[in-house]
Structure 1
């Protein structure tokens, strides 16, 4: 019988006291005794850290940042602090689906990076595209269609969310450090690296129930033209950087 995989869960928190306990308990219910949850708090001004610590589970490790650095750098800090063989990302305000650990660990071990679908907390409905309004879904059959996937990322129609991702430890060599120009969308950066290196697997079942509220870091609403163009240019740079890292790592 094979040894269980050591899993780290990386969570970035900021003023998340309203929902973080519920999310943490849904995560801990999925984990094994030897797993860990790395919570990096981005200088919250509320009692988020106190709420996390009050959960009272030895698997939870809290790192406090003395100054606010934004969610991208906070997730990077969590990834660099994680010790697991497979790393699962988690937002502070969602709810995990039963079986998530097994599904994402298996896919990440096989491919390198796994990305699943989501459903909305409370309704069970899939997310809908902010452009078309149709269900926003990943298909396993398109996992290795690298150019198609990257074009969809650049067009803003690829539903890659960090809260539904897992990363095999050896992929961190290509993913970290995050590029200095990356000011948003750490999840699209991870998906871009996985596409560029041919290490992406789509997982069709939803593995997380997403809580939509006014303070979500990512929004389903369309952006203004100027901001959208700036975001697309950043993603073009990300693709070029991912290809450079692929060559550098051989």
Structure 2
């Protein structure tokens, strides 16, 4: 999990995760120099399964006007410490449904990368969209995936194999989940699970941008896709 000034909804998300973890699992949280009560909330749990990392916000020379790279650097900081067989990406203000980890873990025994469907909620936890996707949203076609990036991190989980192939993130990467998804299309087996297992919150201070209208220029949107494609073709 990557956090930054997420105190408003953070407790709901942490609670929804911890109740699904076993004793030897871990929740790695990398905080990007929050100035609100985010760290106080995390530390109040006093749970040995929670590992807190402190990250200094850094800008990207490739995208100086975009805020998204902040989250990517922060997620990378957490992912570098992930030693488990299976890795789940988590936003700071969503809510995981009770069977998410169990169902995804079973699928990860067969596949390297799993992407699930999701429901959308507002700031009052009201469901505004029960099912985001009506059909499988990704393909093995790199061009299609680049022009329509749908590898939402809040819905993604993957094996150590995919993680190691993804790290370190290319310096030109501005979307961590997009990059990991592209790596999976080339280096692993993938599965689309058409069941919402996440209540993804929109209209809040999320560390990702899934479900929100992007305010990035068309040039910036082209640029990060171009960089991603260039890095993709270098993968072995």
Alignment TM-score, normalising by the size of structure 2: 0.85
Q: Is the 8 A contact 1:116 1:138 kept in 2?
A: no
Structure 1 spans left out of the alignment, 5+ residues: 1-10, 128-134
1:136-181 CA-partner distances (Å, limit 9, x unpaired): 3452xx76x401xx3333223x532101111201222211111101
Q: Equivalent of 1:192, from 182, 185, 196? A: 182
**Inter-partner Cα distance in structure 2 for 1:179 and 1:35:** 28
Q: Is the 8 A contact 1:196 1:239 kept in 2?
A: no
SS in 1 for 2:234: helix
Map of 1:8 onto structure 2: none
Map of 2:62 onto structure 1: none
SS in 2 for 1:56: coil
Map of 2:140 onto structure 1: 146
CA distance 1:16–1:221, shift in 2 (3 Å): closer
SS in 2 for 1:107: helix
Q: Is the 8 A contact 1:189 1:235 kept in 2?
A: no
Structure 1 window deviating more from structure 2 (71-80 vs 231-240): it is 231-240
CA distance 1:62–1:221, shift in 2 (3 Å): closer
Q: Which runs of 4+ in 1 moved over 3 A?
A: 135-138, 219-224
SS in 2 for 1:71: helix
Query: Are residues 1:78 and 2:67 paired?
Result: no
Q: Is the 8 A contact 1:174 1:242 kept in 2?
A: no
Q: Is the 8 A contact 1:12 1:92 kept in 2?
A: yes
Query: Are residues 1:125 and 2:125 paired?
Result: no
**Inter-partner Cα distance in structure 1 for 2:20 and 2:44:** 19
CA distance 1:61–1:223, shift in 2 (3 Å): closer
Alignment TM-score, normalising by the size of structure 1: 0.80
* Structure with the largest fraction of helix: 1
Map of 1:41 onto structure 2: 31
Q: CA deviation at 1:120?
A: 1.5
Structure 2 spans left out of the alignment, 5+ residues: 59-69
**Inter-partner Cα distance in structure 1 for 2:214 and 2:101:** 33
**Inter-partner Cα distance in structure 2 for 1:221 and 1:41:** 22
SS in 1 for 2:233: helix
**Inter-partner Cα distance in structure 1 for 2:214 and 2:128:** 25
Q: CA deviation at 1:23?
A: 0.4
Map of 1:132 onto structure 2: none
Map of 2:163 onto structure 1: 172
Map of 1:98 onto structure 2: 98
SS in 2 for 1:237: helix
